[in-house]
Structure formats: structure tokens, C-alpha cells
């Protein structure tokens, strides 16, 4: 077996006026709690260090800046460094989402993968599918999603990578390739809305991905954003949002023969904006192995065997034998 102990660190609400150090302390506590389960890899949500600020039209630059990490030294900034230090101390790899401001002033919705054994960030992903609008909705009661205002679409593609030193006795000869079934685990990151896009998953699937990591902030009730088939109560809308979340995690894990871990920022943020929970771990056969029971800070944990990815990759979804790329031009040409 190629056993891996993985966890989602679901976070309850973080508010617009929450002190950064308080939120950081909660994240460190979650990591310590995952450590008592012997977790080797812990996923934190999208924009984990702050509230999900794209719901607000923020014109004060100083305030807006306070929600971003600046430059390229995430593991060195006082607002974030203690989390990476703790990960290194506990020997746990982490993946965490944050708003990134580059030296040339661009904003990205980003996540990184930090390897405890390497003591550094070994992979970075920038969210490709930015939902919502650039301008706020006219309806003053609408829940806005101004990601297109604050972020550029990700420009790093969907690059799978191997995380070293997690699997006992992993054959290092697999390290440079994307052949599943040997070597270190093949991982891929996506962020929230990306999980609804088959293309994102397939890009990883084609690289033999074994575990997809996806942090998210998903509104429980946002009819102006989603459109509505029929009037729904907030409760019905939230149930539907959780249903769609699990549907895409389970369905795409199955179709790409991989595990997935998803970590929510959940609960009532900024006093009135409800975010769904539903953080979960799914198997290559599409089953939910573990899921959150609350909308608070909570660790969702599973021990998995990456060898279980082989069944799908070698049979039903053996891409080499069964894909028919000559018939797929429509999805690459437009
Ligand atoms: N953060 C984020 O990407 N949220 C979006 C809301 C989109 S509306 C369907 C999500 O996909 O959950």
C-alpha cells in the first residue's frame, strides 16, 4: 500500500474585523489537532487567513491591502509565517489559500503547497475560474462576488506535482515523471469555483493525479450570483449548494480516478453572509470517506491508500486505451 493520512482543516467564520493573529492562532490549533491524528497533509480553505473579502466593495486601499499577502515570501511574513513554522515543527505538509499581491501589483487568488521535509513552498496555483462580477449587483441586498474586480485569472495552469517524503519507501525513480502507482504522491491544487469545471480536473487527470486539493468559500444563499430555477428558501438553497459541492467532488474524483480533499471556510461571516460547510474527502470510486459535521473549525480526516487510484486508471478510465482525442477538438478549439 501507499498509505497517506490526509485532512481538511475546515474553518468557521472569519470576519472583516477579525484580528489576523486570532485567525492564525485558530489555524495553528487546527494543525495541532490534525497532528494528534498523525495527519501528514492538511488542507486549509481558500483565502484562509481572512474573511472572504470579495463579497465587499472595498474602496479603501489600505483595508483592501490588509487582505492580501504581498510579494513572494509567504513563509516569511508575520501574518502567515507561524503557520508554516508549526507545520515544519510537526512534520506536516500544508496547502493553504490566500490573496496574493505580486511585486508588479497584480492580485491572484492563490494557494501554495508547503513541504515540511523541504521546509519550503514547493508548488503554487492561481485560481483560473474566477466567478462573479467586476461591478457590484444593482440589488443592494445581493451577495456580491467581486473576484473579477480584485483578481486576475490564474496564469500558472494546472500543474500536478509530487510531494516528497510522505510515502514510506516511495521509489524515487518516479519522482520526475507522472506515472501513477509508484513514487511520491501526485497532487494537484484547485480553488473553489475551479471544482465545478471538468477541464480543470481533466488537466490533472491527464497528469495521473492521485489527490486533488480544493479549498473553498461557497455562499449558502446567493440567487443574484447563481440564478434560480425556482424560488428557494435560504435553507433549500444551502442544501442545494452542498449537494452541488459534493456532486462535483465525487463525480470528478471518479472520472479522474483520484482522491480529493476539500476544505471550506464555513458559517456566518461578517454577521450575515452564510458559507456552506461540507468539507470532505472522496475516493477514486466517488465515495465520501469523511465529511464535516459542523460549520465550525473542524478536522476532517482519512487514511487513504493511493494504490486505490489504479483500478480506475488502469480499467474504466485507462486514458491510453479508451480516450478518443480526435473527437474532442471542440473543447480545445473554442
Ligand atoms: N469562492 C468561490 O469561487 N465561490 C463560488 C461561488 C460561485 S457561484 C456558483 C463557488 O463556486 O463556490
What would the grid cell of residue 222 be?
A: 446567493
When mean pLDDT is compared across 33-37, 147-151, 223-227, the lowest value belongs to: 223-227
Catalytic residue among 86, 100, 124, 127: 127
Atom of ligand 1 nearest to the CA of 195: 11
- Whether 217 lines ligand 1, by a CB cut-off of 6 Å, is yes
Q: Which pLDDT does position 178 carry in this prediction?
A: 47
- 181 pLDDT band, cuts 50/70/90, is low
pLDDT at 180: 53
pTM of the model: 0.96
Q: Which atom of ligand 1 is nearest to the CA of 54?
A: 1
Residue-level pLDDT at 175: 47
pLDDT computed for residue 72 by the predictor: 77
Q: What is the pLDDT of residues 82-135, one digit of tens each?
A: 999 999 999 999 999 999 999 999 999 999 999 999 999 999 999 999 999 999
Distance 251 CA to ligand 1 centre (A): 18
Closest protein CA for atom 10 of ligand 1: 193
Q: Mean pLDDT in the chain?
A: 94
* Residue range of the domain that includes 232: 3-333
Q: What is the pLDDT of residues 37-57, one digit of tens each?
A: 999 999 999 999 999 999 999
Sign for the CA dihedral angle at 55, 130, 92, 260 comes to positive
pLDDT tens sequence across 262-293: 999 999 999 899 999 999 999 999 999 999 99
Percent of the chain with pLDDT over 70: 97
Q: Is 192 a catalytic residue?
A: yes
258 is catalytic: no
Low-confidence winner among 157-171, 198-212, 259-273 (lowest mean pLDDT): 157-171
Q: Give me the mean pLDDT over the 176-193 stretch.
A: 80
Looking from the CA of residue 225, the nearest atom of ligand 1 is 8
CATH number of the domain encompassing residue 65: 3.60.110.10
Number of domains in the chain: 1
When pLDDT is cut at 50, 70 and 90, the band that residue 71 belongs to is confident
Question: Ligand 1 centre from 148 Cα, in Å?
Answer: 12
Amino acid at each position: 500500500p501507499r498509505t497517506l493520512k490526509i485532512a481538511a482543516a475546515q474553518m468557521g467564520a472569519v470576519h472583516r474585523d477579525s484580528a489576523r493573529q486570532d485567525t492564525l492562532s485558530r489555524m495553528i490549533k487546527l494543525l495541532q489537532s490534525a497532528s494528534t491524528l498523525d495527519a501528514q497533509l492538511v488542507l486549509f480553505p481558500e483565502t484562509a487567513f481572512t474573511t472572504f473579502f470579495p463579497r465587499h466593495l472595498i474602496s479603501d486601499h489600505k483595508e483592501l491591502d490588509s487582505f492580501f499577502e504581498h510579494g513572494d515570501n509567504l513563509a516569511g511574513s508575520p501574518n502567515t509565517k507561524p503557520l508554516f513554522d508549526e507545520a515544519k515543527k510537526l512534520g506536516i505538509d500544508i496547502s493553504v489559500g490566500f490573496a496574493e499581491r505580486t511585486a508588479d501589483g497584480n492580485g491572484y487568488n492563490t494557494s501554495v503547497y508547503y513541504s515540511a521535509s523541504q521546509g519550503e513552498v514547493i508548488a503554487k496555483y492561481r485560481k483560473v475560474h474566477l466567478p462573479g462580477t467586476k461591478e457590484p449587483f444593482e440589488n443592494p441586498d445581493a451577495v456580491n462576488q467581486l473576484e473579477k474586480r480584485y483578481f486576475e485569472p490564474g496564469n500558472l495552469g494546472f500543474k500536478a506535482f509530487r510531494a516528497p517524503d510522505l510515502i514510506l519507501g516511495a521509489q524515487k525513480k518516479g519522482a520526475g515523471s507522472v506515472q501513477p502507482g509508484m513514487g511520491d504522491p501526485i497532487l494537484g491544487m484547485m480553488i473553489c469555483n475551479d471544482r465545478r469545471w471538468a477541464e480543470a480536473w481533466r488537466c490533472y487527470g491527464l497528469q495521473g493525479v492521485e489527490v486533488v486539493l480544493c479549498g473553498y468559500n461557497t455562499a449558502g444563499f446567493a440567487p443574484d450570483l447563481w440564478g434560480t430555477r425556482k424560488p428557494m428558501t435560504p435553507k433549500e438553497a444551502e442544501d442545494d449548494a452542498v449537494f452541488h459541492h459534493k456532486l462535483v467532488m465525487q463525480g470528478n474524483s471518479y472520472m479522474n480516478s483520484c482522491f480529493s480533499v476539500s476544505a471550506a471556510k464555513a458559517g456566518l461571516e461578517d454577521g450575515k453572509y452564510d458559507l456552506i460547510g461540507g468539507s470532505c474527502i472522496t475516493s477514486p470510486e466517488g465515495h465520501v470517506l469523511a465529511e464535516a459535521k459542523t460549520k465550525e473549525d473542524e478536522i476532517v480526516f482519512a487514511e487513504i491508500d493511493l494504490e486505490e487510484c489504479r483500478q480506475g486508471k488502469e480499467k474504466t478510465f485507462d486514458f491510453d486505451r479508451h480516450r478518443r482525442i480526435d473527437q474532442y477538438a471542440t473543447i480545445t478549439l473554442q
